[in-house]
Amino acid sequence: MNRITVLGQKIKKEKIEAFLIKGTENVSYLSHYWIEGEILLSSRDKFFITTSLFAEEAKSRLNGWQIVIQKDSLEKTISEICKKLRGKRVGFEASHFSFAEYERLRKIKEVEWVPFSGLIENQRAIKDVGELTCIEEALKVTRAAFAYLENELETGVTEKDISRKAIYFLRENADEEAFPPIVLFGERTSLPHGKPSQKKLEKGELVLLDLGARVGGYCSDLTRTIFLAGIKEKWRQIYHLIVKAQKEVIKTLKPGISCSDIDRMIREKIEGAGYGRNFIHGSGHGVGLAVHELPSIASRSKDILKAGMVFTLEPGIYLEGEGGVRVEEMIVVSEEGGRVLNG
């Protein structure tokens, strides 16, 4: 069953005539193409709204769609389309519209707007074979990037040097980088999302690399902590603790487990070793068209694992002013359990 049919069934259950979709990832998911625009789905038609800048591209790529060129404001364009609808109730993903945009939409007299939350995001959380293929291709490039960059690590090279090399490699071998690379040396590895600086690599320092590639619109996201000669033994011990906790939790994964329980299990193992207060972020997140999407692997998450979900597990231990260790793998869930995606 195709994506629009699945969404159409959900729309029908909610007794609304149409659904307005905004947001790059949601639009790309439903149109199977990365292009700027909005989508209005009705029970009979699918409208792709875009500007004249992308009109020719949309017409050539989106077969079976009614291409609507936005010549005025979005709300006026939508108003013209809605005049043709049978019903007046139109749903929309509230999180993708600002308050000001919503206020403008409310002025369309032909429509009763019905807000929804996470309707498409929840659908996107379950990956099909084609999506998994793109993700695995992105992973192949990312793993190759780690191998390439490890050979570039030498005393005196800066974080920015390695970041530039990472971007070049990812753009040469994939569509592009999925996000700005995180490259940190020494005590700066205690910054979970630190930005590359002019810090030079010294002997015996930790190196943290967090990279992702994008292939066919889909992302990968992996983190590696690399030890140079002369590294302190305590960092090796922390690394093995993290990897052991990660592997043990992966063995327990299966459909039906709550994502908050996954976070709790991996957190308890790190707390048991005395580093609970040094694990300062969630345990993972979904990956797909966006680097961060459902499911959320965190203590307050309401998400439940389902077959087809792809997410990261990224336990980390950070000692302020000293350094940090993080290892991030990507996992896919099937009816048989969870497995690491190798690409």
Rounded mean pLDDT, 11-25: 90
Question: In 3D, which of 287, 314, 280, 322 has the Cα closest to residue 210?
Answer: 314
Is 206 within 8 Å of 226 (Cβ atoms)?
yes
Q: What is the pTM of this model?
A: 0.93
As given in the structure block, the two tokens for residue 78 are 């939508």
Mean pLDDT value across the chain: 94
Partner residues linked to 177 by β-bridges = 213
Q: What number of helices (H) and strands (E) belong to the chain?
A: 10, 19
Rounded mean pLDDT, 207-236: 96
- Please give the pLDDT value at position 256: 98
Mutual angle of helices 159-173 and 129-150, in 10-degree steps: 140
Contacts of 104 (CB under 8 A, 6+ apart): 73, 74, 75
Contacts of 141 (CB under 8 A, 6+ apart): 170, 173, 174, 213, 215, 220, 343
CA angle centred on 132, ends 126 and 135, rounded to 5°: 115
Give the C-alpha separation, 343 to 338, whole Å.
15
- Please give the pLDDT value at position 1: 59
User: Is the pLDDT score of 81 beyond 90?
Assistant: no
Is 296 within 8 Å of 303 (Cβ atoms)?
yes
Give the C-alpha separation, 97 to 212, whole Å.
28
Contacts of 177 (CB under 8 A, 6+ apart): 166, 167, 170, 171, 211, 212, 213, 214
pLDDT tens track for 187-202: 999 999 999 999 999 9
Q: For residue 14, how many other CB atoms are within 10 A of its CB?
A: 12
Q: For residue 147, how many other CB atoms are within 10 A of its CB?
A: 9
pLDDT tens track for 129-138: 999 999 999 9
As given in the structure block, the two tokens for residue 246 are 């990660």
What structural domains does the chain harbor?
3-124 (3.40.350.10), 129-340 (3.90.230.10)
Rounded mean pLDDT, 33-48: 90
**Which H or E run contains 114?**
strand 112-116
pLDDT tens track for 303-337: 999 999 999 999 999 999 999 999 999 999 999 99
* Percent of the chain at pLDDT exceeding 90: 77
DSSP code per residue over 9-47: HHHHHTT-SEEEE-SHHHHHHHHTS--S-EEEEESS-EE
pLDDT tens track for 223-271: 999 998 889 999 999 999 999 999 999 999 999 999 999 999 999 999 9
